Chains A and B, each alone.
Chain A
Amino acid sequence: MVALTIDNLAVEVPEGTTILEAAGSAGIHIPTLCALPEIHHNPGACRVCMVEVDRARTLVAACVYPVANGMKVKTNSRRVREARQGVMEFLLSDHPQDCNICQKHGNCELQQVAEQIGTRDITVPRTDFTVHDIDDRSEALVRDGSKCINCLRCVTVCDQIQAVNLLTPEGRGFDSRIVPAMGHSLADSACTFCGQCAVVCPTGAIVEKDHTNLVWAALEDPSKHVVVQEAPAIRAQLGEAFGMPPGTLVTGQMITALRRLGFDRVFDTNFTADLTIIEEGHELLERVKTGGALPMITSCSPGWIKFIEHFYPELIPNLSTCKSPQQMFGALAKTYYAEKEGIDPADMVVVSIMPCTAKKYEAARPEMNDSGFRDVDVVLTTRELGRMLRQTGIDLKNLPEGDYDPPMGEYSGAGTIFGATGGVMEAALRTVYAVVTGKNLPDLNIEAVRGLDGIKQAGIVIGDLGEVRAVVAHGLGNARTIMDQVASGQADYQFVEIMACPGGCVGGGGQPLPATNEKRRLRAGALYRDDGEVQRLRQSHENPSIKAIYDDFLKAPLGEKSHHLLHTHYTAREV
């Protein structure tokens, strides 16, 4: 342990602790715009966290400066305050001042830190800005470099966490900017649209593309039949947008809210999550039996799909051909549901609420129109739905609980846990076990694949199949580790679950900000609670609505209709 004083308080912390962390432990909040507590990228770039350390010639950056025995730190001297204000003036002098119309207004760390620092004036010239084009060509993300403060968080996340390494500093000095490699548009790059950059961005420099106006227009068009589906993770975090603690399950309020917004039907993506388990489980069994490409890798995470298409195109045959639950939903809404209700699919608008920015991209993929129409018309992130609800004045907290509409609203706990890393694997193993052995798993909770460890492995003996070796990875950096093993033949897994975002969908790029591991844990906990405590059914194949859709429409897993509507193909892409 290291003993030091911070603002005359005696503090004792473990060796290697930064001043920022040590101060935090003493109840002193040192502002920062570039530090990321769980990533430790230590750029020391924004210089907002400057503090005074005895014997140091200049101020030091608290976020990177390690504590030492006997060190005396001042976090609130005049010198410190002036330096912070100076740095903040520099940042604001090269930052647009039209905060009121920024997507991050009220949720902007730059605003918050400026407020904490007490900035009231910008004395330096503001006549010269770095000029940037706004890159809004992709479906998912909008990048506005003029709002970028070069904190390097996105660069670190894109490189160290997601292993995409697309965002990079370019140019020198005042002209240096953070751009996709070679200055390309995100739309033309290897960006996976995972949105983790948007999650860490302290300003509005990278945000989700806002599609709420499209939804308003559809809802206001009497000729349209507008249906909505919500991803498994939404129910565990929409509450955060209304100040509720992370991990609050708001399923019923969410349904009521959506209905009040004016959706004609409120369905659930969990339903098609269950369906995915049926199709994917059978696909796995078939591959095992027929000697197909193994390990089979899950395909519900569109950021992950784009990643493998760019970086491991040779492993595309290993991807499950199953569409993601969102896309299965869209394809079935405009066929199965349309037929059943006698609605012209041309008049139907399918909206989905997703934790994910890449889902916007996925819905717009050209092959996603097996219903004869674009299967999913509009994708909103959790954040966008929160904004829509706030516009209407709906106070989620105080809404009565509603219930889903049939026939695509019923779901099992297995569908819900899709929202957490390992959930797809757990759900699939439950069903595969049942299909192969005709019995339920002795313990439906497969703890080995739960939690936030980057890579989780499990081996489960499933009847005649023997031991099925499964591995779960979340975050594309971890995915890369697994893929390198698979590509080099070192892996002996049969089944791989990959989620692009850390924590899975509960850590998605479209979720309420900011994201921390603690929040991811609490959100996942809510999903497991839904599975273990709330839902009557816990296995996908037990879902009566799933049985019904096979009986009425699809006939059999991997059947012809399934093949046409629920499965897809992938495209090798260049880096």
Chain B
Amino acid sequence: MLKKIKSFEALQDIARQVAQDHQKYRLRLMVCGSNDCHLTGSNEIIDEFQKQIQQRNLEDQVQVVATGCIGSCSMGPVMTVWPEDIFYMKLQPADVGEVMDSHVEGGHPVERLMYHDPNTGQAIAHSADIPFFARQHAIVLGNKGLIDPESLRDYIWQNGYQALHKCLTALSPEEIIAEVKAAGLRGRGGGGFPSGLKWEFCANTKGDVKYVLCNADEGDPGAFMDRRIMEDDPHAILEGMVIGAKAINASQGYIYCRAEYPLALERLYAALDQARSMGLLGKNIMGTGFDFDIEIYKGAGAFVCGEETALMTSIEGKRGTPRPRPPFPAISGLWGKPSILNNVETWATVPRILFDGGDAYAKIGTESSKGTKVFAVTGNINNIGLVEVPMGTSIGEIIFDIGGGVSGGKQFKAAQLGGPSGGCVPAAYLNLPTDYEAIVKAGAIMGSGGLIVMDEDTCMVDMARYFMDFCQDESCGKCTPCRVGTKRMLQIVENICKGEGRPEDLDLLESLSHTINDASLCGLGQTAPNPVLSTLKYFMDEYRAHIEDKKCPAGVCADLFTSPCQNACPVEMDIPAYIALVRAGRLADAYKVLKRTNPFPGVCGRVCGHPCQSKCRRSQLDEALAIKNLKRFITDYVPPLRPEPIPVVHPEKIAVIGAGPAGMTAALEMKKRGYAVTVYEALFEAGGMLRWGIPEYRLPREILARELQEILDTGVVLKTNVKIGEDISFDDLKSDHDAVYIGIGAQKSSPLGLSNESAAGVIGAVEFLRDYTMGKDVWVGKRVAVVGGGNSAIDAARTALRLGAESVTILYRRERKDMPALEAEVKAAKEEGAVIDFLVAPLEILVSDGSIKGLKLQRMRLGDFDSSGRRRPRAIEGQIVRMEIDMLIPAIGQQAELDFLSPATQIDDNTKDTVAIDAGGNTILVNKDYSTDHAGVWAGGDIVTGPAMVIDAIAAGQKAAVSMDRALREAKGEQPWKETEDKIEIPVEVDEEVETLLQIRIRELSTAERSRNFSEVELGYDEDMALREARRCIRCDVKTEA
């Protein structure tokens, strides 16, 4: 027979006993016993520890406890060893022996099983030092990992029910409400209504019967904080509810919990029994004469029953549909009686507030949003789990510091806040504080704290479709806007995803959103359009791409492409086709397929950024297909084509300025269409950046020469050593030709903006590389510093090393993960001896006798987030270091040379017939079809986009050619050109079973073989390797009829 608790001393006695019980053990192994850790095997681990403890006769010294969730769900199964606070993750039963031997018996914690810092690779032993835990502030989750969730005694040990005792014996209802008001507690279920105010309304409503209700109907996709609180700390909820009951003088409470939460229900039922048997619930609570009991109502899991009036209707035994407010529940709620409803997290917070006092709680958080908030962080993030942070913590901190950043090395795209009723915010909002009002202002809501992280592979239109589908599915159907409106919005979004969207759909979606928001009966309908509204606000370009270009940039909307790799390619190379042809051994056909869309396959097989590979479906299984290597393989094994000259059938003459990839592609495409094309190149050879900017060890000259020749063979005329603006004026060129394409690239390195940049020994990366490749006598220092983190910086560093530099240091102001350079290039540079110094920026160039002698460097730290989603480097005051160098290569960007455009051409003289240039003077502004506002002038490539990938320049050349041809033909009333191509049959050979198999690695020169020469580093595949790699393609382009 349990003795009922009737005094504060009785609570303290239990707490003391529990503490003594714990102290009996030398070590306490706290294994997370939550559902997620269960799924990954925590039960087996607990059993194994218990077995081994028994075998080793350590039962008196070591205790194993299954605790509630500690939140680090993707690290599970996890264990914390108390009192040392040693944290282990991803434990397997096989690890138990080692932990027992080395740690429990040997006193040496097992480093292998600890958390490792992703940046430094260092093991972190104590959970208190792991950013995931260290940056949290646990109040409502304060008992996590400490108590056995099934033990009321453990709860009391952690000061449980002391707040209730205070409320029942020392505080009046008014005083309780005053504390809650002082705490600034706002409803954690989503609305954020001040809880104390709600209680006060209800307390002031006349009525003999009042109800205290707990909303445990958590239904947002991805949200599980309430379930965890019920499972892990059920007494906190009960204690909160009894306190609420005392405040409004209620004698009956209900917990409305969905039946899909069996463990939560089990623990709640158990907690109710325990609390009743100890006199903490029921009649005469703690001997104070106060009566209050709680009943659990199991809901069937309708999302709308999270809406308070629908929840009450459901408890009343009716179909769970919302009813109009007013009257508000505090006046007329359950069965028409005054009621207060709060969600689980809110109730579980109440005892903490009453224990510490409202003022103490109000010190945490922001002005309008006090205290802490629990977030369920899910999606494309490394540390999936539950986190509790002070309100006001930025979502960037939650995602990157606590959450460990985006998983799989992908780019952050958006965070979805507040579930289906919430909205998506883009990278530019990573500094957004988690504050009710701030989040609403950004177009989302705090909601119950769901935070879904989305990476670059997320299609925001598809995401909006998903949430719209959810809402229309979960609409109760009672009111028209929600019942029909959400369906109609869904249809429109679905149409857009299918490529059937119309431009007017965007305005229509917005106006429907406003109608549904303004006219729906309850919160579900009122907020249902939010995901569409917020994505329209921040990701309009994605909607436009779906509607205008029939393209899903993220490669999600399957109706809009055949394969994600082809979809990701700017020129939509038919990758599955040429890979199938490699597999079939038909390399000549494969080469033809390559050439259809890309005149530079050999170049791209070496230096393309291959966005195709990052979207490869195979990567979901093991590793992406090595598309780049296979492309190169085809060009390596197929002899050059000898195209016949293409006859000129049009009278119009085309001029192309710049023989880089954009210009040469445009020239070829216009040639194909039957025009006379002349390319004007300022230097003595064609190739542009491919020729002058990319070192030979990455792109051998003959590869480029071959592909340029294949273009010239068609009859494109190349005039080298002709600089427009010097040798021929732009206006003359313009008047001699019917259409001009400017593809001159960005030819100058951007300066660092420091004084002394003109000192000897300072040379921009582009100039340095070009001088060398042009055969100029290039001076290279002994100690070289390269500033920047892109491919040019790496190219410059590796070239400097090859030309004899003793040391090359790359200075980068951010962290490794922020470097835009290709991963493989960075790795190769390091292998070759380059050193990368992160979080540093040049502050001053030190000069002696007109030559550079060194650098003053400012040490940086990462601050808030910029619009790209990366943290802004901020100077660390006082941390300035000197570096001795004799050569400095700035590689922080490139600039254009646009002087050849005469001022009259550049400046708007009210004719509007100008080539417009952006404010920085670095890029030409073009229309969507690459035409400029100067009639007859088109532009593309780096001169339009700034430095980008080769494949982007090729795409720009192609698209401009389509538009030029169309414009010329339309002027003559002709139909646009249609390509006639040889039919190449593509084999469909699909393996029935796909086995895990990593990429076939490409052959490379060893570091020693390549260190001081310009031989090509990568050696490509042989036939056998290529065949094996080609077989890895899972042919996701093949659609079978369902």
Q: Which residues does A use to contact B, with CB under 8 Å?
A: 42-48, 50, 58-59, 61, 64-66, 79, 82-83, 86-87, 90-91, 93-94, 123-125, 127-128, 149-150, 152, 168-169, 171-176
Which B249-307 residues have a C-beta within 8 angstroms of A? Answer: 302
Flag the segment in B124-132, B469-477, B687-695, B1020-1028 that touches A.
B469-477
21 contacts between A and B (CB under 8 A): A44-B479, A46-B480, A47-B521, A58-B518, A58-B519, A58-B520, A59-B518, A61-B324, A64-B324, A86-B512, A86-B516, A90-B485, A123-B508, A125-B492, A169-B477, A171-B477, A173-B473, A173-B474, A174-B472, A174-B477, A175-B477
Q: Is the CB of B519 within 8 A of A172?
A: no
A169 near B515 (CB under 8 angstroms)? Answer: no
User: Which A residues touch B514, using CB under 8 A?
Assistant: 82
Question: Which residues on the A side are within 8 Å of B27 (C-beta)?
Answer: none
Given contacts A50-B518, A150-B477, 16 further A-B pairs with CB under 8 A are A43-B324, A58-B517, A65-B326, A82-B515, A83-B518, A87-B519, A90-B480, A90-B483, A94-B484, A94-B487, A124-B488, A172-B477, A173-B473, A173-B474, A173-B482, A174-B487
B481 on the interface (CB 8 Å rule)? yes
Known A45-B480, A59-B518; judge A169-B321 contact (CB<8 A): yes
Chain B residues within 8 Å of A82, by CB = 511, 514-515
B319 in contact with A169 (CB, 8 Å)? yes
CB-based contact B324/A65 at 8 Å:
yes
Tell whether A125 pairs with B491 under 8 Å between CB atoms, given A90-B480, A172-B473: yes
Chain A residues, CB < 8 A from B326 = 65-66
Q: A44-B324, A45-B480, A90-B480 are in contact. Are A172 and B521 (CB under 8 A)?
A: no
Cα distance A152–B319 in the bound complex, in angstroms: 13
- Inside 8 A of A176's CB, which chain B residues have their CB? 475-478, 483
Residues of B within 8 A of A169 (CB): 319, 321, 477-478
- Nearest Cβ on chain A to B887's Cβ, whole angstroms: 64
The answer to whether B519 touches A124, judged by C-beta atoms less than 8 angstroms apart, is no
* Min C-beta distance of B464 to chain A, whole Å: 16
Nearest Cβ on chain B to A390's Cβ, whole angstroms? 33
Quick check: is B914 within 8 A (CB to CB) of the other chain? no
Contact A86 B481 (CB under 8 A): yes
| Known A-B contacts A125-B491, A125-B492, A176-B483; A47 and B475 likewise in contact (beta carbons under 8 Å) | no
Which residues of chain A have C-beta atoms less than 8 A from B518's C-beta?
50, 58-59, 79, 83
List chain A residues, Cβ under 8 A from B472.
Answer: 173-174
Residues of B within 8 A of A150 (CB): 477-478, 480, 483
B491 engages A127 (CB within 8 Å): yes
Report chain B residues within 8 Å CB of A61.
324, 521
CB distance from A77 to the nearest CB of B (A): 11
Known: A64-B324, A83-B519, A125-B495. A173 touches B483 (CB 8 A): yes
Task: Tell me if B526 counts as interface (CB < 8 A to partner A).
Answer: yes
Task: Say how far B320's CB is from chain A's closest CB, in angstroms.
Answer: 10
Closest to B326 in A: A66
Tell whether, in the assembled complex, residue A173 and residue B491 are in contact, meaning their CB atoms are under 8 Å apart.
no
A79 to B518, CA, bound (A): 9
Interface positions of B from 516 to 551, Cβ below 8 Å from A = 516-521, 526
A88 to chain B, nearest CB (A): 9
Give Cα distance in the complex from A127 to B319, angstroms. 29
Q: Decide yes or no whether B349 CB sits under 8 A from chain A.
A: no
- Please give, as numbers and ranges, the residues of chain A lying within 8 Å of B526 by CB-CB distance: 58
Contacting residue for B479 out of A42, A47, A124, A171, CB 8 A? A47
Is A174 within 8 A of B484, CB to CB?
yes
Name the A residues within 8 Å of B517 (CB-CB): 58
Interface pair A43/B491, CB less than 8 Å apart? no
Which 4 A-B residue pairings sit nearest by Cβ, starting from the closest?
A176-B477, A86-B515, A173-B475, A90-B484
- CA of A123 to CA of B491 in the docked complex: distance in angstroms? 12
A171: chain B residues within 8 A (beta carbon): 477
Chain B residues 345-392 with CB under 8 Å of chain A are none
Judge whether B487 and A128 touch: CB under 8 Å: yes
- Asked whether B72 is an interface residue with its Cβ less than 8 Å from the other chain, the reply is no
Q: Separation in Å of the A172 CB from the closest CB of chain B?
A: 6
Distance in Å: Cβ of A271 to nearest Cβ of chain B: 48
Query: What is the chain B residue whose CB lies nearest that of A92?
Result: B484
Q: Which of B323, B477, B508, B520 contacts A173 (CB 8 A)?
A: B477
Determine the distance from Cα of A168 to Cα of B520 in the docked complex, in whole angstroms. Answer: 21
Expressed in whole angstroms, the Cα–Cα distance for A128 and B483 within the complex equals: 13
Cβ–Cβ contact B480 & A168, under 8 A: no
Least Cβ–Cβ distance between A57 and chain B, in angstroms: 9
Q: Which residues of B contact A93 (CB under 8 A)?
A: 484, 488
B residues in contact with A58, CB < 8 Å: 517-520, 526
B133-155 contacts to A, CB under 8 A, are none
Cβ-defined contact, B484 with A91, below 8 A: yes
B486 CB within 8 Å of chain A: yes
Most central of A43, A65, A149 by chain B CB within 10 Å: A43
- Least CB distance from A261 to B in Å reads 42
Give Cα A106–Cα B495 distance, bound, in whole angstroms: 36
Asked if A50 and B486 make an inter-chain contact with CB atoms under 8 angstroms apart, the answer reads no
Chain A residues whose C-beta falls within 8 Å of the C-beta of B520 in the assembled complex: 47, 58
Q: B485 to chain A: closest CB distance in Å?
A: 5
Nearest Cβ on chain B to A128's Cβ, whole angstroms: 6
- What is the bound-complex CA distance between A383 and B480, given in angstroms? 30
For A176, the closest partner residue in chain B by CB is B477
- Asked if B484 and A47 sit within 8 Å, CB to CB, the answer is no
Beta-carbon contacts under 8 Å, B312-361 to A: 319, 321, 323-324, 326
* B476→A173 contact, CB < 8 A: yes
The answer to whether B519 and A47 have CB atoms under 8 Å apart is: yes
Q: How many angstroms from the CA of A87 to the CA of B482 in the assembled complex?
A: 10
Using CB atoms, name the residue of chain A closest to B524.
A173
B319 and A168: CB pair below 8 A? yes
Cα A82 to Cα B484 with chains together (Å): 16
A128: chain B residues within 8 A (beta carbon):
487, 491
Which residues of B have CB within 8 Å of A86? Answer: 481, 485, 511-512, 515-516, 519
B512 & A124 in contact (Cβ 8 Å cutoff): yes
CA distance A419 to B656 in the complex (A): 95
In the bound complex, what is the Cα–Cα distance between A66 and B332 (angstroms)? Answer: 14
Closest to A79 in B: B518
**Chain B residues with CB below 8 A from A172, complex form:** 302, 473-477
A94→B323 CA distance, assembly (Å): 24
**In the complex, what's the smallest C-beta–C-beta distance from A285 to chain B, in angstroms?**
46
CA distance A58 to B479 in the complex (A): 15
Give A66 to B327 CA distance when docked, in angstroms.
9
Chain B contacts for A149, CB-based, 8 A? 480
Q: Which residues of chain B are near A44, meaning CB under 8 Å?
A: 323-324, 479, 521
Q: Tell me how far the C-beta of B507 lies from the nearest C-beta in chain A, rounded to whole angstroms.
A: 10
Which residues does chain A contribute within 8 Å of B495, judged by CB atoms? 125
Q: Is the CB of A42 within 8 A of B324?
A: yes
The smallest beta-carbon distance between B308 and chain A, in angstroms, is 15
Report the minimal beta-carbon distance from A93 to chain B, rounded to whole angstroms.
6
* CB of B497 to closest CB in A, whole Å: 14
A66: B residues at CB distance < 8 A: 326
B484 cross-chain contacts in A, Cβ below 8 A? 90-91, 93-94, 174
Residue contact A174 to B483, C-beta cutoff 8 Å: yes
Contacts of A175 in B (CB 8 A): 477
**Residue in B closest to A66 when the chains form the complex, CB atoms:** B326
Q: What's the Cα separation between A128 and B517 when bound, in Å? A: 22
Q: How far is the CB of B636 from chain A (nearest CB, A)?
A: 52
CA distance A168 to B478 in the complex (A): 11
The answer on a CB contact under 8 Å between B487 and A47 is no
Complex interface bits, B225-248 against A, C-beta within 8 A gives 1, otherwise 0 = 000000000000000000000000
Cross-chain contact B491 with A87 (CB below 8 angstroms): no
Q: Which single residue of chain B is at the shortest CB-CB distance from A64? A: B324
CA distance A281 to B495 in the complex (A): 70
A94: chain B residues at CB < 8 Å are 484, 487
> Which residues of B from 143 to 201 have beta carbons under 8 Å from A?
none
